[in-house]
Structure 1
Amino acid sequence: MCKRQFVIDNDGDNFLNINTCAVTGAISIGCGYSQLQEFSSAMNLPIMSQKTYQKNHKLLSENWQQLAQQSMDQAAEEERNMAIAEGRVTKNSTPIIDVIADGVYGKRSYKKIIRLYPVLPQL
């Protein structure tokens, strides 16, 4: 709002700029822009604009989504390999894996095991 630019250096090993780090911290503890603004104000630090916050939030969300997908793909591949090694396959050699899942926040699975037949690329 004041049109002034403040420069705060990062350490050389950190690939994220200070705004991205601030947004990461806010998201990690369940805050949004308003809470980050209040926190910065309490420490007498300048705050980024809401537009900058949204830009960083979008960037982080996209990256986290991509990393989550990669992690799930890797876990599925490990489960597939373990099922094959243990001989848990269907008649047509599709691995059978066990998955424990909650349907939604308000329901509990009570550790019910659901048998899934994943569609994974053939190696």
Structure 2
Amino acid sequence: MCKNICTIKSENTHDTEKINLNIAATTGIVASGIGYSQFEELCSAIDVPVFTLNTYTKYQDQVLKKWEQTASSSMAAAAEKEKEIAIEEGQTKGGFPVIDVLVDGSWCARSYGSNYKALSGTAAIIGRKTGQILYIGVKNKYCLVCARAENNNISPKEHKCFKNYEGSSTSMENEIIVEGFYI
């Protein structure tokens, strides 16, 4: 009624730092667990044009790379903090800090005690003193692109393959935890 226009920003940005709306949208898609199709359908319902699937894939790769870098630096900082605490408390053996950890793992599907054929599993190593993640890993026994190519008796197209495990489903968690102690 007063004819004044007020702009309220939802992001704290500097004049030189502009937020890329496509990156922000892609981050939201990935973080909320929906896919490109659901995003496209939602935007269609509210008559908002969307970027193409190829554009989404490009931005998704950027978002995931940034998340991976952030996770790696966060885990390194957590490990350093656990190390400092162990040294301060005199918990060393042979000059090396001894860090107490908690480990946990899971499968992507419940077995109910009879079907131990999960195609993916994850595990984490957590510092007991800080409660922060020191390592997290994922094992996959399946890749959709590779499986489709195999079903069609062709070579898979060039892609980022997430299949990184051949062993039994019951040993996925253990292997991830052991891997975490060697990194």
List per-residue Cα deviations over 1:68-115 (Å, max 9, x = no partner). Answer: 00000000000000000001111x111111111212346999xxx89x
Which residue identity lines up with residue 74 of structure 2 in the other structure?
S
Give 2:98's aligned residue.
96
Q: Structure 2 regions of 5+ residues with no counterpart?
A: 1-10, 111-122, 129-176
Aligned partner of 1:21: which letter? A
Match of 1:47 among 47, 50, 55: 50
The correspondence for 2:62, drawn from 56, 59, 64, is 59
Q: Identify the residue that residue 76 of structure 2 maps to in structure 1.
A: 73
Secondary structure at the counterpart of residue 101 of structure 1: strand
- Identical aligned residues as a percent: 36
Q: TM-score, normalised by structure 2?
A: 0.50
Q: Distance in 2 between matches of 1:63 and 1:21?
A: 13
Where structure 1 has 5 or more consecutive residues not aligned to the other structure, the ranges are 1-10
Across the two proteins, how many residue pairs are aligned to each other? 104
| Residues in 1 aligned to 2:79 and 2:106: alpha-carbon distance in whole angstroms | 21
Where does structure 1 differ by over 2 angstroms across 4 or more consecutive aligned residues?
A: 103-109
The separation in 1 between residues aligned to 2:25 and 2:65, in whole angstroms, is 17
Please tell me the residue identity of whatever aligns with 1:88.
Answer: Q
Q: CA RMSD in A?
A: 3.0
Shift of residue 12, structure 1, vs aligned partner: 8.1
Helix, strand or coil for the counterpart of 1:47? Answer: coil
Aligned-partner Cα distance in 2 for 1:32–1:56: 13
Q: Secondary structure at the match of 2:90?
A: coil
Distance 1:52 1:74, change over 3 A: same
The one-letter amino acid paired with 2:100 is D
CA offsets per residue over residues 44-67 of structure 1, 9 Å max, x none? 000100011000000000000000
Distance 2:63 2:90 in 1: 40
State TM-score, norm by structure 1. 0.73
3-state SS of paired residue (1:48): coil
Higher strand fraction: Structure 1 or Structure 2?
A: 2
